[in-house]
Structure 1
Amino acid sequence: MLRHAKALAAAPGAPDDWDHARPLADRGLMDAAAMGRLLRERGWRPEQALVSTAARARQTYAQLGLQPPDGSTAAAFHDHLYLAEPDSLLDALREAPADADSVLLVGHNPGLHELAYRLSGEADALQRGFPTCMLAIFAVEGCWSTLDARHARLLDVVAP
């Protein structure tokens, strides 16, 4: 689970739909690229990516550079992941392809943090928050459709 990287601040008086269109700030672009390098160094490429349609989430995923030239990582962009509640995010993971060994979920707080904290068994590493461009890596036992805290184990928490 990856929270999108740092985005531009909301402009005072901006239209309601501007939040969905907010792009990454320069720091966010650099952080997402750094996270991508770290993941590639570790040899980790998700087989499936579930990404919010918000501009900052889409840009974060693009900056990771995880999409191989042959397009073998499937990315699915979903409106319902934008500012989603933890249960909606969990439902999205449960609907991941059964044959996907690894899934990357790129989303937003507070839902992403709440779900990661719940699945981790309230791990100390997640108690203090889930800042931008933070990644929580879980090992999942069984199939995606039955994912819950009993079938997930927090392996690592990484920030660029």
Structure 2
Amino acid sequence: MGLRLILARHAKSSWGDPLLEDIDRDLNTRGTNDAILIGQWLATNGYCPDEALVSAACRTQQTWSSIKTTTTLDTTKVAIHDGLYLASSDQILHHIRQATGNTVLVIAHNPGIGDFATRFAKVATTHSDFARYPTCATTVFDVKASSWSDVKFGENPILNFCVPRELRP
């Protein structure tokens, strides 16, 4: 198997404390539950990252924590990056080009993560939620490069795309 990229937007966050800085906002109950559902979906489909690149924001780190509770990802190498907080698609690509795993999960924010998904795909999916990339939207790509340093926009087929509401009972 070649390289695989899993791209996830953070789960639904709380706006309950207006005094919190944006970077410090945590997940609300729905967000935690949705991240767990995405973790189960990843595990069921065999999409298990061996490296996770996570924004420094509280909500992205909590999304990762909730995803990994449902899978056997305790051995996944995790790197928290300040530079992924509110990153543009070009900044996200910069971080991905430094990855070392075979299957890499990136958890970041809109609008950068949604723009990245659209630009990274060879052909965008026709799923109605892909363009807006809602909270906890997750795309799995087959990467058409032999190393992360060589990845480019516009070359990578989408293997799967999911939003949590499709997984809720």
1:62 counterpart residue number: 65
For residues 43-69 of structure 1, what are the alpha-carbon distances to aligned partners after superposition, in whole Å with 9 as ceiling and x for unaligned? 221011000010000000000026747
**Does the residue aligned with 1:6 lie in a helix, a strand or coil?**
coil
Q: 1:10 to 1:95 in 2, by over 3 A?
A: farther
Q: Which of residues 80, 83, 104 in structure 2 aligns to 1:80?
A: 83
Please tell me whether residue 45 in structure 1 is matched to residue 21 in structure 2: no
Residues 8-53 of structure 1: CA deviation (Å, up to 9, x unaligned): 12754x36xx100000011000000111111111122101100001
State the AA in 2 paired with 1:28.
G
Whether contact under 8 Å (1:134, 1:159) holds in the other structure is yes
1:10 and 1:19 in contact (8 A); partners too: no
Tell whether the 8 Å contact from 2:86 to 2:112 is kept in structure 1 after alignment: yes
Mapped partners of 1:145, 1:23: distance in 2: 32
Contact 2:99–2:148 (Cα < 8 Å) also in 1: yes
Residue 135 (structure 2) pairs with residue 105 (structure 1)? no
Alignment of 1:1-160 (within 5 A): 1-9=7-15, 11-12=17-18, 14=19, 18-65=21-68, 68=72, 71-97=74-100, 100-121=101-122, 123=124, 124-125=126-127, 128-141=131-144, 142-160=146-164
RMSD: 1.9
Query: Residue 109 of structure 1 contacts residue 130 of structure 1 at CA under 8 Å; is this kept in 2?
Result: yes
Does the 8 A contact of 2:121 with 2:155 survive in 1? no
Aligned partner letter, 1:73: T
* Higher deviation after alignment, 104-113 or 146-155: 146-155
Residue 139 of structure 1: CA displacement? 0.3
Q: Measure the CA separation in 1 of the matches of 2:158 and 2:137.
A: 14
Q: Across the two proteins, how many residue pairs are aligned to each other?
A: 154
1:150: Cα distance to partner?
4.6
Quote the Cα distance in structure 1 between the aligned partners of 2:16 and 2:121. 31
TM-superposed CA distance for 1:155, in Å, is 1.4
Q: Return the alpha-carbon distance in structure 1 between the equivalents of residues 156 and 59 of structure 2.
A: 27
- Cα–Cα, structure 1 residues 19 and 10, in superposed 2: closer, same or farther, change >3 Å? farther
Counterpart code for 1:120: A
**More helix, by proportion:** 1
Task: With the length of structure 2 as denominator, give the TM-score of the two structures.
Answer: 0.84
Give the structure-1-normalised TM-score. Answer: 0.88
